[in-house]
Structure formats: C-alpha cells, structure tokens
C-alpha cells in the first residue's frame, strides 16, 4: 500500500538532488509556522468550541473544492453552499462528504489534492485514499476526532506549532473576538490585519453608509477629507493595539495616484457624495493606496497590495450565492506605470515595507522582480491564490530570484481560511523551496551551506522579519 503522503513528496527524482532536498527539508520541517496573511476566523480561537462535522469543516467553505465540483456539473446547493435567498441546500454532512469523495479524482494534479491528503494523513491518521468506497469510514474517523478536546482550535493551533497567525478584519470590525482571545489569557499569538476595502473603495456595497459608520466609531468627521484620514489613523492604531502589523488591500488593479492635498480633498468630496464617474472612483482607490503608504511610514504597518482579480464573474452565481463562490478570475495586471505615483512618493523609504502580490505571472520576471530588486520599500509576496501550488511556487522562484534575489521576497504565507490545512500548505511550500534550492546546489549555482541558511529563511525568518512579527 502507498502511504497518502510520501516522505519525498515534491522532491526531485534524481538521486543526488533528492538527497540534497531531504537534507534541506530536515532542517526546516519542524520550524514554527509564521502565518502573517490569512483568513481564519478569530471566533474559533476565542470560543474554542469543537469544529462542526467533517463536511462543514473541510468542504462547504472551501472555494477551491466546490468550484472544481461545480465545473463538472455538481450543484452548489448539493454541496451545502447556502443561497442568499435561503433556499434549500444539502445539510447532511455525510451526504456532502460522499458526494465529494465520489468526485475526489477530479483533484488529481491539483494542490487541493496534496493539502487534503496531508490533512487526512497527518491530522486524522488516515492511510487509505479517499474514494466512494472509503468515504463513510473516513467520515466517521474524522467526525469522532473532531469531538475530542485535542482537536479544538487552540489545541490544534498549538499542535500545528503556530508561532503567530494574522486574521483579516474590515475597518469597521470591533475586534471582539480578538478582545475575547486576549481576555481569555490564552497565549496563542493571533493578531489582526487592517483591511479597509469597504471604506476605501467607492464601488464597495454601502460605501457611503460605511463611511458614516466609520465616523461614528471614531468620532471623526468622515464628511471631510481630513477627518476621513484621521479616522483611518485611529482605526489603524486600534488594530495595532490588537497586534496588527499590516494592512491589506484587494484593489482590482495596481493603480496608484499621488494628488495634491487640494485635489485629493476635492476628489474625496465628489466621491463621498456618490460620484457616478468611474474614473473618479478608480482614482480615489489609487490615491488611497498612497495615503495608506504614507500612514505606514508613520505607524509602521506593512502595506500589502493584492490586485488583479475580476470578482464575481458569473452574474447568476453572484446573485444567487453571493461573493467568494469560486468565480473570481485573474486578469492581466500592469505594475510599472501603475505603481509609479506611489513609488515616486515613498518608494525610496527604507523604513517602509510594501508587499506586492500578483495573479498575473507574466509580471514576475518582467515587472515585479525588477521593481522589487531596486526599490527599498518593495518586497514580493509569495505565489498567490491559484499559484499557491507546486508548479506555481516553482515558477515564482524561477522567475523572480535571478533579478530580485531571495531577500526581496517575504517567505510563505498561506492566505487561507481553511485552518486544518495550514500545516499542509506550509509543508508544501517548504518542500518546493527545498527542491528549488537543491537544484541550485546540484547545478553548482549555490553552496550547500548557503542553501541550508536560505531554507530556514524562506520557511520562517523572512516572513517574520518582513511582517515585523
């Protein structure tokens, strides 16, 4: 019988390279996990209740999983995905699980397969492949374990050896779960991150109301440009008081602007009243990236830019099921001229860290590595979303290292809400990086002692340092 996860997973088959990769990996596999950019729910750590049934934990909320099944004709309702209208959906965990097991072969060659098998094997001690035949047995195993005390969120957090994890909260969030975690006295380090899209993007649902609310929360006059900026400053300070070391910005493009204060003020006034000029709304988003960068100079928050996703591509799915249902599609994204206003403003600052992500791999070697390889303020985030995969991570290293080096990158982050898969994701990243380093050593482009040092930096140190954790 073949184990679900082989000790040599993702290592190059050639003997000498494999041996090098094994040695490198042995040095990093047990390093603590630093997860500076993620989307787990702080409520879990706050309440520390048992996770729900296997399907609700592992399938229903995972858009990688339901998008693939949907592409092959399975209805979202049959996977338990709730509709906005509250129509009937499958609620029986076992039925959903069986459905998934029946289609599990679809994930061959995908990272989901690697993560899922890793979770089955390492978290739940399962050693038989998931198929229609084994579905019930695996379901029972997992359902049972999830009731155990040592499978509750905090216990897993500790078992996963997580040194620090960041969640992401909107600017209007009261951070009550973070408060509860703090009050509980539990020592796990769960920090928040400042995600102000809803009060920065005029196209966000309820933008105007959101700004009113921002004003109420902060006591600032969010009807004026100055008061609005002050409100951001206050919220950033509040988030910092709950450990935040970064802000995060999911704009559709990488465009930035650097208007005069008067022009920015006028733009704000128009946008605040609900501008119907798309260019104005776009310009406002662009300007706000630069404003956030300037605030970062003052308060030290790391600025993360995640552009390039065309959200909610299917109108029908969006209307029926809402956001985040697997229909966010990457688009071509340009950085060079888009980032110039921000970079002309703050790009040479050595105390600022701006981390760039992309869904457009063509920008790695052409734009991002050349930019990060010269601007002191810029660093490259790891291969992101659809590219958080063995081939995707390999391409990231192959296309960025020669121009930006390793030290203008920031290690790995898992970017996930799928808590049980966090160790799997970090494990895959560590293996891919060790395989890449092993190749450099085998080709005599790097000495072995350097590769060992780098392996540790890519797995642990760079993320910790870049995110100031």
Residue 56 near residue 77 (C-beta atoms within 8 A): no
Residue 244 near residue 276 (C-beta atoms within 8 A): no
Report the residue number, 39 or 439, with the smaller CB distance to a copy of itself: 439
In the complex, least distance from residue 27 CB atom to a copy of itself, rounded to whole angstroms: 16
For residues 79 to 108, the per-residue mask of contacts with a copy of itself, x marking binding by CB under 8 A and - elsewhere, is: --------------------------xxxx
Q: Which of 22, 134, 329, 456 binds a copy of itself (CB under 8 A)?
A: 329
The tokens for 436 are: 């890449």
Near a copy of itself in 427-466, by CB under 8 A: 439-440, 442-448, 450, 454
| Total site size for a copy of itself, rule CB under 8 A | 92
In the complex, least distance from residue 132 CB atom to a copy of itself, rounded to whole angstroms: 15
In the complex, least distance from residue 324 CB atom to a copy of itself, rounded to whole angstroms: 12
Near a copy of itself in 222-241, by CB under 8 A: none
Report the residue number, 111 or 196, with the smaller CB distance to a copy of itself: 111
Taking the C-alpha atoms of residue 173 and residue 82, their distance in angstroms, rounded to an integer, is 23
Near a copy of itself in 285-314, by CB under 8 A: 310, 313-314
Residue 33 near residue 163 (C-beta atoms within 8 A): yes
For residues 355 to 374, the per-residue mask of contacts with a copy of itself, x marking binding by CB under 8 A and - elsewhere, is: ----xxxx--xxx-xxxxxx
Taking the C-alpha atoms of residue 347 and residue 125, their distance in angstroms, rounded to an integer, is 49
Residue 354: enclosing H or E segment and its boundaries?
strand 354-356
Residue 111 near residue 390 (C-beta atoms within 8 A): yes
Q: Which of 83, 141, 401, 461 binds a copy of itself (CB under 8 A)?
A: 401
Q: Does 399 bind a copy of itself (CB under 8 A)?
A: yes
Residues in the chain: 469
Near a copy of itself in 334-353, by CB under 8 A: 334, 336-337, 340, 343-344, 347-348, 350
Report the residue number, 50 or 330, with the smaller CB distance to a copy of itself: 330
Give the DSSP letter string of 272-331: HT----HHHHHHHHHHHHHHHHHHHHHH-PEEEE---EE----HHHHHHH-S-SS--EE-
Which residues 6+ apart lie within 8 Å of 19 measured at CB? Answer: none
Report the residue number, 16 or 241, with the smaller CB distance to a copy of itself: 16
Residue 323 near residue 375 (C-beta atoms within 8 A): no
The tokens for 459 are: 């797995």
Report the residue number, 95 or 403, with the smaller CB distance to a copy of itself: 403
Phi then psi for residue 93, to 5 deg, are -55, -45
In the complex, least distance from residue 66 CB atom to a copy of itself, rounded to whole angstroms: 9
Strand 329-330 versus strand 33-35 pairing type: unpaired
Taking the C-alpha atoms of residue 151 and residue 267, their distance in angstroms, rounded to an integer, is 51
Phi then psi for residue 301, to 5 deg, are -65, 140
Taking the C-alpha atoms of residue 96 and residue 454, their distance in angstroms, rounded to an integer, is 43
Report the residue number, 214 or 404, with the smaller CB distance to a copy of itself: 404
Q: Which of 38, 202, 215, 390 binds a copy of itself (CB under 8 A)?
A: 390
In the complex, least distance from residue 399 CB atom to a copy of itself, rounded to whole angstroms: 7
Could you tell me which stretch among 164-172, 191-199, 262-270, 394-402 binds a copy of itself (CB under 8 A)? 394-402
For residues 19 to 48, the per-residue mask of contacts with a copy of itself, x marking binding by CB under 8 A and - elsewhere, is: ------------------------------
């Amino acid at each position: 019988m073949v184990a679900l996860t082989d000790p040599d997973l993702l290592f190059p088959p050639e003997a000498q390279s494999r041996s090098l990769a094994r040695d490198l990996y042995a040095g990093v596999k047990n390093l603590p996990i630093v997860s500076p950019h993620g989307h787990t729910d702080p409520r879990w750590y706050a309440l520390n209740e048992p996770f729900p049934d296997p399907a609700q934990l592992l399938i229903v909320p995972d858009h990688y999983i339901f998008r693939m099944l949907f592409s092959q004709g399975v209805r979202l309702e049959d996977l338990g995905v709730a509709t906005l209208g509250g129509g009937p959906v499958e609620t029986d965990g076992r039925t959903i699980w069986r459905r998934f097991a029946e289609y599990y072969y679809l994930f061959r060659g995908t990272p989901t397969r690697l993560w899922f098998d890793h979770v089955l094997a390492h978290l739940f001690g399962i050693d038989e492949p998931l198929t229609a035949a084994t579905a019930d047995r695996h379901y029972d195993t997992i359902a049972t374990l999830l009731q155990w005390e040592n499978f509750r969120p905090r216990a897993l957090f500790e078992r996963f050896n997580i040194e620090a994890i960041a969640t992401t909260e909107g600017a209007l969030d009261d951070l009550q779960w973070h408060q509860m975690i703090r009050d509980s006295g539990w020592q796990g380090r769960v920090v928040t991150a400042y995600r102000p899209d809803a009060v920065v993007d005029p196209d966000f649902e309820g933008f105007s109301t959101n700004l009113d609310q921002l004003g109420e929360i902060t006591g600032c006059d969010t009807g004026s440009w100055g008061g609005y900026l002050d409100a951001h400053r206050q919220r950033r300070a509040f988030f910092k008081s709950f450990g935040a070391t970064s802000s995060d910005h999911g704009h559709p493009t990488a465009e930035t602007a650097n208007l005069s204060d008067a022009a920015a003020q006028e733009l704000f006034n128009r946008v605040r009243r609900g501008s119907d000029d798309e260019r104005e709304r776009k310009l406002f988003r662009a300007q706000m990236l630069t404003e956030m960068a300037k605030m970062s100079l003052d308060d030290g928050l790391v600025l993360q830019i995640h552009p390039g996703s065309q959200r909610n591509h299917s109108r029908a799915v969006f209307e029926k099921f809402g956001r985040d249902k697997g229909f966010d599609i990457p688009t071509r994204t340009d950085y060079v001229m888009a980032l110039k206003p921000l970079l002309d403003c703050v790009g040479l600052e050595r105390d600022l860290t701006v981390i760039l992500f992309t869904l457009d791999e063509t920008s790695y070697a052409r734009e991002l590595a050349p930019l990060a390889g010269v601007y002191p303020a810029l660093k490259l985030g790891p291969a992101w979303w659809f590219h958080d995969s063995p081939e995707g991570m390999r391409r990231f290293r192959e296309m960025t290292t020669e121009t930006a080096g390793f030290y203008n990158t920031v290690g790995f982050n898992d970017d996930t809400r799928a808590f049980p898969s966090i160790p799997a994701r970090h494990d895959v990243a560590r293996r891919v990086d060790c395989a890449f380093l092993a190749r450099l050593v085998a080709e005599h482009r790097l000495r072995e002692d350097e590769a060992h040092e780098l392996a540790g930096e890519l797995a642990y140190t760079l993320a910790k340092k870049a995110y100031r954790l």
